[in-house]
Amino acid sequence: MIIPVRCFTCGKIIGDAFEEYTKRYEIYKKAFDAGENPKETPKQILDELGIDRYCCRRMILTHVELIGESAPFE
Amino acid sequence: MKVDIKELKPKKAVLKIEDTQLYFINSLRRIMLSELPKLAIDGVVIYDNTSALFDEIISHRLGLIPIPTDLSLLTFKDQCVCKGKGCPNCTVRYTLSKEGEGTVLSGDLQASEKSWKITEDKIPIVRLYGEQRLILEVEAVLGRGKDHAKWQSVQAPAYRMDISIEFDKSKIEDVKRIIKKLPEGIADIKNDKIVLKDETKLPALESIIDKEKIDFITVKHDPTKITFSFETDGSLTAKDVIVESAKILEQKYTEFVKQLKAL
């Protein structure tokens, strides 16, 4: 639905990192699909955002933002 | 006891503590998890919510937001002079009101006093579409980690003993073969010992020792030399956490001694 506030396992705040991650991931994906050398990989983005443990990384990597789908319903 | 600060950032600390015992570091760690107070949102009054999320989900998300806490200014609500009614000594109030397209962020919570302004202000609470509206009022109170995880200000507190890896000198060829199996550059032989570049990579070596049932390499732990690391969620600084936890532990020992005298 919407990105959780904290990591389920360790409790680190990860909600604020998701938007920036998606933004930078789009740039990576565009470059990758065009066959160019991307400026940074998802690994480097996560490292730079300070998300070190794999429990927090999976929160960001595996999240699907679906709140737009349910937005018409109150 | 000797304490060496390896790393001290506002939200992270790594300490190297020598001449101590495991039980002491463990009690400090447990105090951090369950006894250290911090502010968290505990009561929510929702006036209007036409967003896609239920009131309960929004309340839960609000509870998890870290609120900067000054422990010298606050008391627990049930121990306060107001007898649990709620006053500026024990409760911090916020209001939130937003309408129309956009994301409601934790920074949109308006504090009744400027000093309680939320520092982690980029956490999304809900996304609003069209004419959707969210109007609410919340109060934050002090609590402890043992009551609810939202009152736990420390994340991933952990300690590690110093290690020294020794091996049988007559089997140096076998040892070299095993080091080659490890990821490149993490281990080296120095003065008849295996030295790891990064001690957190020890499980890589241990898994090979287990798998091949090797008895000529022994990993020795030194329980008097401990590396202790923890992170905070931003409600308290790492320095405050360690100082306040030590104070709470001291209070507990003093109380215990007092009880013993009564015997």
CATH of the domain at B82: 2.170.120.12
- CA nearest to B158 within chain A: A10
**Within a domain: residue B15?**
yes
ipTM: 0.90
Q: Of B151, B174, B190, at which residue does a domain stop?
A: B151
Q: Is residue A29 very low, low, confident or very high in pLDDT (cuts 50, 70, 90)?
A: very high
Distance CA B135, CA B144 (A): 28
Test B64 with A67 for CB contact under 8 angstroms. Answer: no
Measure the CA angle with vertex B191, ends B188 and B193; round to 5°.
Answer: 55
- CATH code of B167's domain: 3.30.1360.10
Q: What confidence score (pLDDT) does residue A74 get?
A: 67
**Within a domain: residue B249?**
no
Q: What is the mean pLDDT of residues A20-35?
A: 94
Pair (B45, B136) in one structural domain:
yes
Helix (H, G, I), strand (E, B) or coil at B222: strand
pLDDT over 70 (residue B143): yes
Contact B51, B58 (CB under 8 A): yes
Pair (B119, B164) in one structural domain:
no
Q: Name the token pair of B62.
A: 């609000």
- CA nearest to B61 within chain A: A5
Preferred mutation among A7, A9, A12, A13 to probe B, highest tally of B CBs within 10 A: A13
Q: Determine the straight-line distance between the first and last CA of chain A, rounded to whole angstroms.
A: 14
Pair (B115, B167) in one structural domain:
no
Q: What is the mean pLDDT of residues B107-115?
A: 91
Q: What confidence score (pLDDT) does residue B171 get?
A: 84
Number of domains in chain B: 2
pLDDT in tens, B169-228: 888 888 888 888 888 888 888 888 888 888 888 888 889 889 888 888 888 999 999 999
Q: Is residue B10 very low, low, confident or very high in pLDDT (cuts 50, 70, 90)?
A: very high
Pair (B47, B130) in one structural domain:
yes
Preferred mutation among A2, A51, A59, A69 to probe B, highest tally of B CBs within 10 A: A2
**Within a domain: residue B118?**
yes
Q: Can you give the residue range of the structural domain that contains B189?
A: 2-34+156-229
Test B123 with A73 for CB contact under 8 angstroms. Answer: no
Q: Is residue B47 very low, low, confident or very high in pLDDT (cuts 50, 70, 90)?
A: very high
Q: Which residues on adjacent β-strands are paired with residue B124?
A: B105
pTM for the model stands at 0.87
CA atoms within a 13 Å half-sphere pointing along the CA-CB vector of B126: 30
Pair (B173, B209) in one structural domain:
yes
> Is B66 near chain A, with CB under 8 Å?
yes
Pair (B29, B57) in one structural domain:
no
Considering chain B, what is the average pLDDT of its residues?
A: 91
Q: What confidence score (pLDDT) does residue A21 get?
A: 95
Backbone angles phi, psi at B52, to 5 degrees: -75, -15
**Within a domain: residue B53?**
yes
Pair (B49, B20) in one structural domain:
no
Which of B122, B129, B156 has its CB closest to that of A10?
B156
Q: What confidence score (pLDDT) does residue B84 get?
A: 78
**Within a domain: residue B244?**
no
Whole-number Cα distances in Å, A16 to A22, A48, B24, B106: 11, 14, 35, 9
Pure H helices in chain B: 22-34, 55-63, 172-181, 202-211, 238-261
pLDDT over 80 (residue A73): no
- CA nearest to A14 within chain B: B123
**Within a domain: residue B170?**
yes
Pair (B116, B72) in one structural domain:
yes
Pair (B127, B167) in one structural domain:
no
Pair (B51, B146) in one structural domain:
yes
Kindly state the percentage of chain B with pLDDT values over 90.
Answer: 66
Pair (B142, B162) in one structural domain:
no
Pair (B22, B119) in one structural domain:
no
Q: What confidence score (pLDDT) does residue B189 get?
A: 85
Backbone angles phi, psi at B64, to 5 degrees: -80, -10
> Is B235 near chain A, with CB under 8 Å?
no
- Least Cα separation, residue B168 to chain A (angstroms): 35
